Amino acid sequence: MTTEMQNEAEIFRGTTEGKTVFKDTRSVRGTPKAGMPAFVLGEELAEMAKTDPRIVVATADLASANRTNDFKAVHPDRFFDFGIAEKNMITAAAGMAACGMVPYVATFASFAAILGAEQIRTDCAYPKMPVRVIGTHSGMSMGFYGSSHHALEDLGMLRCMADLTVICATDANHLRAVLRASADHPGAMYIRLGRGRDPVVYDTVPDLTIGKAIRLREGTDLTLIATGSEVRAALDAAAALEKTGTSVRVIDMHTISPLDREEVAAAARETRAIMTVEEHNITGGLGSAVAEVLIDLPRLPFLRHGVPDRYVEVGPPAALYDAYKLDAPGVESVARDFLSRIG
C-alpha cells in the first residue's frame, strides 16, 4: 500500500471525525438490499432460450454469483461450468458459435475482459463469432477484493477492438433489453454489468437499439453523459442541480462501441457544456470516447469524471463511490465546480 493510500485509510474505515461512517448496511454490500433488483441474467436468458435453441450459457465457477444457475435450473443440458478457466471458456464459446450456437459466457469483469482480452479479440471479434462475453461486478464494485478484482480498464481495453460491440447495462430492466437485442446482433459482444443490485433507472423494459443512446432528461446548461452504474447518480445529480436553476440533460450512453456520435454532437450544439460520468478510469473509457467525437466539433467546455488514473484503495464499495465522488452528491458537486469554473 502506498503512502498516499495509507493517508486516506480513514476514509474507508469511517472512523475519522467528520468523515462518513459506513456501517454494514451500506459498506458490506455497497448498496442497501431493499428495493434493489438482483441479477436477472440467468432468468432472462432461460426465458429467451425457451424459443431460441441456439442459446447456451457458460460460467467460470461463478454460477451463484452471477445467477446463471437460474438458467441451469431450466436448461441443464445447455449450461456449462468451466471452473476457474476463463480463457478456455471464451475460446470454447467461439467454437460453439462456429457450430451455430449463440453462447453467453459470464464471469467477473476483471477476469472476462482483462484476463480474457486475447481470446475476446482473436477468437471472437476477429472471426466475427456471435459470442456474448458478460462481465459482472465491474468497476470497483468488488470493493474489498482489491485491484485484482476491480475492472476499471475494461472499457478502454475492449472498445478499441474492431468488430466488437461494447455495451453497459444500466439496471435490471435495461439488462433484459440488452440481452433481447443481443440474440441476433452480428458479431461478438462484451456486456458490462454492475453488482446486480443497481438502483432502478427504467421502471419497465425500455425500447433499446444497440449503438443508440437514450436521452433520459432534457436540459440546456449542461449535458451529463453517463453509462452503466452511473446513470442513476447522474439523474439524481441533475434533479438536485435543477432545484438551483441549472438545466441538465442526461444521456444513458449504454453502447460504448459503436458510440452514438450523433447524440454527442447534438449535446455539443444544444447545451453549454458536457461532462461524462463513469465507474472506470477516465483514461480510455467513456470520457475518452466522447472526447474523440468532440475533437472534430466546435470547442465547448468538457470534463471527464470517473476514477483518476490510479489503482483505487481496498475498501467498502459505498466508501469508494463516496471518496471518488461517483455517488449522486459527488456527481452534483463535481458538476457545480465545473460550471462555476467555466462561468
Walk along the chain (343 residues) and give the pLDDT tens digit of each residue.
344 444 444 443 433 444 444 433 443 334 444 434 557 999 999 999 999 999 999 999 999 889 999 999 999 999 999 999 999 999 999 999 999 999 999 999 999 999 999 999 999 999 999 999 999 999 999 888 889 999 999 999 999 999 999 999 999 999 999 999 999 999 999 999 998 778 899 999 999 999 999 999 999 999 999 999 999 999 999 999 999 999 999 999 999 999 999 999 999 999 999 999 999 999 999 999 999 999 999 999 999 999 999 999 999 988 999 999 999 999 999 999 999 999 8
Architecture of domain 211-342: 3-Layer(aba) Sandwich (3.40)
3-state helix, strand, coil in the chain (%, to 5): 40, 20, 45
DSSP classification of residue 113: I
Q: Where are the domains of the chain?
A: 41-192, 211-342
Q: Specify whether the CB–CB gap between 133 and 192 falls below 8 A.
A: no
**What is each CA distance from 269 to 42, 210, 221, 242, in whole angstroms?**
41, 23, 11, 20
pTM of the model: 0.89
Cβ neighbors of 331 (< 8 A, separation 6 or more) are: 224, 230, 233, 234, 236, 237, 277, 305, 325
Strand partners, 224: 250, 275
CATH tag, 41-192: 3.40.50.970
Short-list 55, 105, 97, CA closest to 75? 55
Tell me how far apart the alpha carbons of residues 113 and 134 are, in angstroms, rounded to a whole number: 9
Q: Specify whether the CB–CB gap between 338 and 221 falls below 8 A.
A: no
Q: Is the peptide bond before 127 cis (omega within 30 degrees of 0)?
A: no
Tell me how far apart the alpha carbons of residues 28 and 6 are, in angstroms, rounded to a whole number: 21
Q: Helix (H, G, I), strand (E, B), or coil: what is residue 318?
A: helix
